Amino acid sequence: MGPYRSHLTLAHDAERPGPMTNRTTAPIAIIDIGSNSVRLVAYDGLQRAPTPLYNEKVLCGLGRSVFSTGRLNEDSVQRALTALKRFRVLCDTMRIDRIFVLATAAARDAANGPAFLEAAQAALGQEIQLLSGRREAELSALGVVSGFYAPDGVVGDLGGGSLELVDVHGVTVGQGVTMPLGGLALQDLSENSPRKARKIAREHLKKAEPQLDTLRGRTFYAVGGTWRALARLHQAARGYPLHVMHGYTVEPSDELSFLEMVETTDAATLQEVETISEARRPLLAYGAVVLEEIIRSGRPREIAISASGVREGLLFEQLDRETRALDPLIVSAQELNEQRARSPGHGEELRAWTDRFIETLDGPETAGERRLRHAACLLSDIGWRAHPDYRGEQSLNVIANAAFTGIDHPGRAYLALSGYFRHEGVAPEKASPMLRGLAGPRLFDRARLIGALLRVAFPVSAGMAGPLARMPVTVEDGKVVLRLPRDWEALNGERLLNRVRGLARVIGLDGRIDVG
C-alpha cells in the first residue's frame, strides 16, 4: 500500500465535485443510486454533524444479474426511475436547491449503464456523478473519518455490486481497492450458492492483501446496508440494550460463530428477521460470507458498524479545514443544549467548572474521558421540560438513542447514565444493569462522578448561566469543598450539604461547604 496522504488530496480532480468551503444552514440533499438501493437523504445543512431531515430508500436491485447478463434489469431500471422522479418532487417540496447525485457499481459496470444514467438525469434534472471504485472507497473512508473518534483500521463498504476496502488512520486514508463482492454481484457470480460464493470471495480478496495485512489487531469498519442488517440481527440474538447501529462493535470470535449460523440457516427463521426488508434477506448469507473471509484473513481486533459512508464522506469533504477539525460529538451536544436547555450558556460553563474540579483529583483523566465529560455537561439539562418524576428516564432514553457520531456504545452508556444520575441520584443500584455492563467499570464510575457534580451545580445556579464561576468545587486536604461567596450565603443549607457529601462519597472522601 502506498504512503498515507492527506484526505484532501485523495480525490481524483476529475471526479471531485465543486468546492463548498463554508458551513451553510440551507438544506442539502444526496441521492445515492446504488446497485441494490436508491436512496434520498436530505440534511439540515452543510456542517460538521449534519442532521437528516428526511431519509427514504427504495430497494430497486439495479445490480441484480449484471454479471451474468452484462445489463441492468429493465424492471429494476423502471423502479429506479420512478423513485428518482419521486425524489425530485420531495426535494422541491423541501425547497432543496443543492443536490448531489451519485451512482456506483451497477451503473458503472452495465452495458446499458450510460443509457440509464441519461434517463436518470432527465428524471431528476440533476447531473449525476458516476463514481469509480477508487473514488467510492475514498468517500467511504472519509465517511468513517467523519463519524468516528480517531479511527484506526480498514474500512469495508459492501454494496449491492461491489466491496471497497481502504485503510484509514486518523484523518488520512490509504490506497483503496474495489472487488465485485457486493451481495447481488456475489449471488449472481455464485449462481445462488453461498458455498461457491466463499471460494469467489476468497479469490478476490487476494487483491486486498495490502489492506488486509494492515488490519491485524486494528478495527474493521463495516459500511453498508447488508452488514447493518446483520448487526441488527446480532443485537437481537444478544438481547443488546441499545438499538443504535453506528458504533456497535463485535469481537471477531463472537462474530464468526454468528456469521456461520447465518450462512447455514434459513433467513426466515432468524430472530428479528422481520425488521429486515424481504428484498435484503436473501443477501444476508452473502454479506456474512464476505465478512467472515475478511475476519479470517485480516484478524481484526474488533468489527465496528458504521452508519457513515459515501454520503457522509462527500459532505465531510466539502467542509473547510476548520469545520472538519471540530469534534462531531461536541457539536451535536451543543446543538441539543441550544435547543433544549433552559439556559444554554450554563452547559458551556459546566465544562470549565468541572474541569477545575477534575484537575484537583488524584489520577489522570484521558482525552477521551474529557470529551465525554464535556458532552455530559452540555446534555445535562435537556430533560428539564419533562415531569420531575420522568426527567431521569427521559434524559437517559434521549441521550442513549440520539443520532450522535464520534462516539462508541460504552460512551453512549456513560452519557445516558450521567444524565440519569443527575436527576435520580448516584446510588449504583439505580442504574440499568445492561447500561452499566455496556459502560464498563471505569466509565460507570466516571458517570456517577459527573452525575454527582451536576447534582451540586444545579441547586446553586438554578441551571442559569453566570453563577458557577463564583462557586468552585475542588478537592482540598482530602475533602471535597464547595466555596460560596458571602453574598450568596443563603444558598447554604442541609440539602446542598448533602449533595456535596454525596459527591465526596463517590470518590471516598468527606465534604463541606465554605462561605467567604
pLDDT string in tens for the chain (516-residue length): 333 333 333 333 333 333 344 456 789 999 999 998 999 999 999 999 999 999 999 999 998 888 889 999 999 999 999 999 999 999 999 999 899 999 988 888 899 999 999 999 999 999 999 999 899 999 999 999 999 999 999 999 999 989 999 999 998 888 899 999 999 999 999 999 999 999 999 999 998 999 999 999 999 999 999 999 999 999 998 889 999 999 999 999 999 999 988 888 887 777 778 888 888 888 999 999 999 999 999 999 999 999 999 999 999 999 999 999 999 999 999 999 999 999 999 999 999 999 999 999 988 899 999 999 999 999 999 999 999 999 999 999 999 999 999 999 999 999 999 999 999 999 999 899 999 999 999 999 999 999 999 999 999 999 999 999 999 999 999 999 999 999 999 999 999 999 999 999 999 999 999 998
What are the residues facing 111 on neighbouring strands? none
Within 10 A of 338 (CB to CB), how many other CB atoms are there?
13
Distance (Å, whole) CA 344 – CA 254: 43
User: Taking Cα atoms as reference points, which of 515, 506, 77, 140 lies closest to residue 309?
Assistant: 140
User: Taking Cα atoms as reference points, which of 393, 227, 388, 367 lies closest to residue 294?
Assistant: 227
Residue 504, classified by CB atoms within 10 Å of its CB into exposed (0-12), middle (13-18) or buried (19+), is buried
Instruction: Please give the model's pTM, rounded to 2 decimal places.
Output: 0.90
Alpha helices in 214-365 (DSSP H): 225-238, 252-264, 284-298, 310-318, 321-324, 328-340, 344-359
* 184 within 8 A of 68, measured Cβ to Cβ: no
Grid coordinates given for 353: 467548572
User: Taking Cα atoms as reference points, which of 268, 256, 76, 37 lies closest to residue 158?
Assistant: 37
User: Taking Cα atoms as reference points, which of 17, 271, 258, 224 lies closest to residue 126?
Assistant: 17
User: Taking Cα atoms as reference points, which of 370, 394, 355 lies closest to residue 474?
Assistant: 355
What are the residues facing 166 on neighbouring strands? 155
Distance (Å, whole) CA 70 – CA 91: 32
What value does the CA radius of gyration of the chain take, rounded to a whole number of Å? 25
Q: Report the Cα–Cα distance between both ends of the chain, in Å, rounded.
A: 64
Tell me which residue has cell 465544562. Answer: 351
* Domains of the chain, CATH where assigned: 28-130 (3.30.420.40), 133-314 (3.30.420.150), 327-515 (1.10.3210.10)
Residue 242, classified by CB atoms within 10 Å of its CB into exposed (0-12), middle (13-18) or buried (19+), is middle
